[in-house]
Copies of this chain bind each other. A is one copy, B any other.
Amino acid sequence: VSIRDVASAAGVSVATVSRALGPNAESVQMKAETRRRVLQVSEELGYRPNDLARALSQRRTSVLGLIVPDISNAYYAGLVRGVEDSASTAGYRVVLCNTDRDLGRLGQYLDTLVKSRVDGVIIAGGATESSFDARVFHQYPTKIVMVGRHELSGPSVQIDNIGAAELVTHHLLDLGHERIAFLAGPLSSRTIQDRITGYGNALAARGIDRDDDLVWEGELSEESGYRGTRDLLFRADRPTAIVCANDRIAVGVLAMATDCGLNVPEQVSVAGFDDVSISSYLRPRLTTVAIPTYEIGTSAAGLLLEQLETTGLDSPAGRGGEEVLLLPTQLIVRDSCAAPPRPPRAAVG
């Protein structure tokens, strides 16, 4: 059942049907009676306009592409949710892509997205110019907004990971800790790099040399936190506090601590990152840094939609300005951090 069926059934031309049901139906002059009839017939026939044809004709699909490393990660799930919400209320659909942090897949996805002529794409989780054929990309009017720091030009929404890490680390420092470990995720992630940097900065600000043995590279998983902690705890001069690159890692740390009979925070302090929903239901309640993932999503979508409304669809590589939205982060102090067990000893070689 196509527009033509409706047209003939209503005894009008396809043009009229299009006017009655089309994109800017309300801002079109036509006899009320005619419109009513078209509407009714279309209703009776169960007519659903073909968006493909419409898009082809209008040169806009009302579809957004969203590329993330992994939706099954709570962090990105919130973001996806935010994007989806604002996109759909603005009348856009969103197609989802998982890269698994594989730059090759990123490139492939960007390619399919361009082929399907999405109006814009949001890339979260890091991308480099080399990860896709930017030259090709710029031939099409597809708009981009990035989430997080990146090597690409164009608008983006970011959070101050460096500052956030400085915040937690200072919190621990203020409590009297001097040997503070950092349980990181994959160092290839820009986010992780930044968090490590912030951690280092805070240490440096207190005149403490960063001990590379205290920075442990792993995954963003409980398992990784569990193993990393074991490593750290069996050291001669073990840390009195552990900052984790995310809350899942922190859960692993907590598990290992209780398995070793170590009390948190009395014997070792633990801090996380992200403030996922369980964090306040762990015992001890986890001190962590809240990241507004949902807002990151809505902001990114907002930035993109703004470009789409603003810019004419023809402007070839017109990727808007370099507008950067920096979203605030918040230290959530709960119960998992306290003063170190003994008064800080003299610095050891």
Which residues of A are in contact with B by a Cβ distance under 8 Å? 1, 46, 48-53, 55-56, 61, 63, 70-74, 77-78, 80-81, 84-85, 88, 93-98, 111-112, 114-117, 133, 135-136, 139-140, 221-223, 226, 248, 251-252, 254-255, 258-259, 277-278, 280-283
What are 13 A-to-B residue pairs whose CB atoms are below 8 Å? Answer: A49-B115, A51-B112, A51-B115, A51-B116, A52-B52, A52-B55, A52-B56, A74-B77, A95-B96, A96-B96, A251-B282, A254-B281, A254-B283
Q: Which residue of B lies closest to A70 (CB)?
A: B81
Q: What's the Cα separation between A51 and B51 when bound, in Å?
A: 13
Copies of this chain, whole number: 2
Would you call B94 and A46 a contact (CB within 8 A)?
Answer: no
Do B117 and A51 touch across chains, with their CB atoms under 8 A apart? yes
Contacts of A74 in B (CB 8 A): 72, 74, 77
* A-B pairs with lowest CB-CB distance, top 7: A46-B136, A72-B77, A222-B281, A255-B281, A51-B116, A72-B81, A258-B283
User: What residues of chain B lie closer than 8 Å to A78, measured between beta carbons?
Assistant: 72
* Contact residues in B for A281 (Cβ distance below 8 Å): 222-223, 226, 251-252, 254-255
Bound CA–CA A136/B61 (angstroms): 23
Q: How far is the CB of A6 from chain B (nearest CB, A)?
A: 12
Alpha-carbon separation in the docked complex, A53 to B115 (Å) = 10
A82 and chain B: residue at smallest CB distance: B72
| Further pairs besides A46-B135, A252-B281: 6, Cβ < 8 Å | A71-B81, A84-B96, A95-B96, A96-B96, A251-B281, A258-B283
A281 to B140, CA, bound (A): 48
